[in-house]
Structure 1
Amino acid sequence: MTMRTDPASFSRYASGYDGVARFLHWLVVLLIAAQFVIGWTMPDIHKDTKPDGLIAWHLGVGATLIAAVVVRIVWRLTHTPAPASLSPFFRVVSHITHGLLYLALVAVPLLGWANASSRGWSVKLLGILPYPSISAVGSPVGHEMGDIHGYLAWVLFALIALHIVAALFHRFVLKDQTLQRMLP
């Protein structure tokens, strides 16, 4: 594995992501953190649960998260960053991990949305723009999506933890500029 040590190459690679990509990354981080805090503290959802209080907040933040992830994916597909200076092994691991993160960032909110739809709950962006229902009210499949949503949220949490450990590994062990590429 070769590592770049000259400052000129660090600055080139440290600026791999543009300001919009960095903003969207950190917006998604904040929304995910809010979702985990709300999800852990909100009451359990049962058959007659109403979407009030923390549950309403969870739905609202989730709707915002869906929009932010869609914008982030579109931005990433249309704005390719400069490649990182990684060994072939780390490049493959990075692609797999990022692919799984994006998959989980799409699947977890969609499953929650399907569950909310099956309960007849409205999912609204910023509390104003309603999203369409994606499962029928009373749908047993939509209800099951809620359980899968909860399990996959833990998978997402694990992937995020792996992502953070990898960023710290790059910073403190490999001493490369991978982490700096996403910092403001």
Structure 2
Amino acid sequence: MQSLDTNSPRYVPGYDGVAKLLHWLVVLLIAAQFVIGWTMPDIHKGTVPDGLIAWHLGVGAALVAVVVLRIVWRVTHRPAPAPVSPFFSAVSHITHGLLYLALVIVPVLGWANASSRGWTVKLFGVLPYPALSPVGSSVGHAMGDIHGILAWVLLVLIGLHVAGALFHRLVLKDGVLQRMLP
């Protein structure tokens, strides 16, 4: 890979190593969640959280923790702004805001649904998260349906994010994609 000349007008300062690590860890966890979610059995009344369902809960718990860390890091460690037009800056801010929102809401809705089924969500299978809804809650059960729908919205937002990164790399050739690459 060709190194970027930091004196070049095309040079765009990148994110720090922690931000990159958290970004790519979220990517990995989301990819795992979609694979597990698509292959796990349907959840019905009386379903036991074992096998792929247990994996989905565990990866979801890890995702919640990493997303919280990522948000805290992002708020406390602002990267240098990318040198893009006001239009692309606005589109980027809106897309990133919606991505962060979906990365919080989708797992929390799944967590609330698990709570309503009496399932304990645990980080690394050890640290239990508090229940977000009472066992048997119809609202908690409904949150499971919303969780599934918003997961598709999250997938669309991820597609837009990837398309934007590729647009910067292949069309604008402005170095913006390189900001998040290792």
Q: Could you state the TM-score of these two structures normalised by the residue count of structure 1?
A: 0.94
Q: Does 2:26 correspond to 1:9?
A: no
Identify the structure with the greater helix proportion: 1
Q: CA deviation at 1:98?
A: 0.2
* Segments ≥4 residues shifted beyond 6 Å: none
For 1:134, what is the secondary structure of its paired residue?
A: coil
- Picking from 142, 166, 172, the partner of 2:170 is 172
- Picking from 121, 124, 137, the partner of 1:123 is 121
- Picking from 45, 50, 57, the partner of 2:48 is 50
Letter in 1 for 2:51: G
Q: CA deviation at 1:100?
A: 0.1
Aligned residues: CA RMSD = 1.3
- Picking from 69, 72, 77, the partner of 2:70 is 72
Aligned length: 178
Identity over the aligned pairs, expressed in percent?
Answer: 76
Q: CA deviation at 1:30?
A: 0.1
User: 2:97 is matched with which residue?
Assistant: 99
Quote the Cα distance in structure 1 between the aligned partners of 2:68 and 2:122.
15
Superimposed CA distance per residue, residues 77-118 of structure 1 (whole angstroms, 9 cap, x where no aligned partner): 000001101100000000000000000000000000000000
Q: CA deviation at 1:10?
A: 3.5
Are 1:16 and 1:83, in contact at CA under 8 Å, matched by a contact in 2?
A: no
Quote the Cα distance in structure 2 between the aligned partners of 1:77 and 1:9.
27
Q: CA deviation at 1:7?
A: 5.7
Quote the Cα distance in structure 1 between the aligned partners of 2:31 and 2:7.
34
For 1:66, what is the secondary structure of its paired residue?
A: helix
Letter in 2 for 1:115: N
Quote the Cα distance in structure 2 between the aligned partners of 1:166 and 1:148.
27
Q: Which runs of 5+ in 1 are unaligned?
A: 1-5
Letter in 2 for 1:90: F
For 1:82, what is the secondary structure of its paired residue?
A: coil
Letter in 2 for 1:45: I
User: 1:145 is matched with which residue?
Assistant: 143
**Larger RCO (CA within 8 A; separation ≥ 6):** 1
Quote the Cα distance in structure 1 between the aligned partners of 2:114 and 2:7.
51
Quote the Cα distance in structure 2 between the aligned partners of 1:78 and 1:16.
16
For 2:118, what is the secondary structure of its paired residue?
A: coil
Quote the Cα distance in structure 1 between the aligned partners of 2:59 and 2:10.
36
Q: Does 2:109 correspond to 1:111?
A: yes
